[in-house]
Amino acid sequence: MQEREIVIDVKDLKISYRCLKAYSIKKSLMQFKKSKVQVYEAVRGVTFQVPRGEILGVVGKNGSGKSTMLRAIAGIFSPDSGQIDLHGNSVSLLSIGVGFQRKLSGRENILLSGMLLGFSEEQVREKMDEIIEFAGLGKFIDMPVKTYSSGMHSKLAFSITAVLESDIMLIDEVLSVGDARFKRKSYRKMKQLISNEERTVVIVSHSLETLRKLCTSMLWLHNGKVKMIGEPGKVLDAYEEFMSE
């Protein structure tokens, strides 16, 4: 059997946050002490590979490092150590609160986001009407994004990523945001997108039902480390049992 091409290769990934402990200026001057720096290890030596065409689900309780890891794969966060190799594939991150200029309109953000994903202005303009139609924001498409609700934000973000198809799609919780009609619509679109055997998808979600339906493999992160990786049914069963204890 021919080996599948690896498109995401993560080796010993480590990412820490440095948090300044709050001190008043007056108190700091009186005590002549520097503010203490606390280091929080969000991702602690994570290693895994994703072959082309795989739909990898990622689970874990809040604070387990899921979103941090996704942002590192997308190139938004720089790791403290370790390696991420996407082997030249284009990548897009679909996540609430990432990638939009709040003062610009939805239409302007479509253009900006598309070009940041590596598409030419001409390519984005060719898909503009399709993106706007799918998002279904009506007159709000020409209003500043700062006026959008979280549901409207997710609709626009999903529409851009779904219509401007990259080799690797990273999806962080947005399938559970928006009204019921858009949830059904985005779920159908996701199924259509991931049916393409050339596309690789990583989905972070608390909806275990969605992950069971969509994913071909599963990664369980716990306290910044890989606790289990493998077939979705086995991993999710073990995760549900762990969380119910």
Same domain, 128 and 221: no
The last residue of one of the domains, among 166, 198, 224, is 166
Distance separating alpha carbons of residues 161 and 194, to the nearest angstrom: 13
CATH of the domain at 201: 3.40.50.300
Number of structural domains in the chain: 2
Among 77, 160, 171, smallest CA distance to 117 is for: 160
Same domain, 78 and 171: yes
| 162: its two tokens | 């779904």
| 190: its two tokens | 């996701």
- pLDDT tens digits for range 60-70: 999 999 999 99
Same domain, 161 and 113: yes
Among 88, 74, 58, 57, smallest CA distance to 222 is for: 58
| 60: its two tokens | 């874990």
Same domain, 83 and 12: yes
pTM over 0.85: no
For residues 157-163, give the mean pLDDT. Answer: 86
- pLDDT tens digits for range 101-132: 999 999 999 999 888 877 899 999 999 999 99
Grade residue 161 by pLDDT with cuts at 50, 70 and 90: confident
**What 3-state class would DSSP assign to 157?**
helix
Same domain, 219 and 107: no
The last residue of one of the domains, among 166, 184, 200, is 166
> Would you say residue 191 lies in a domain?
yes
Distance separating alpha carbons of residues 95 and 153, to the nearest angstrom: 10
Phi then psi dihedrals of residue 5, to 5 deg: -70, 130
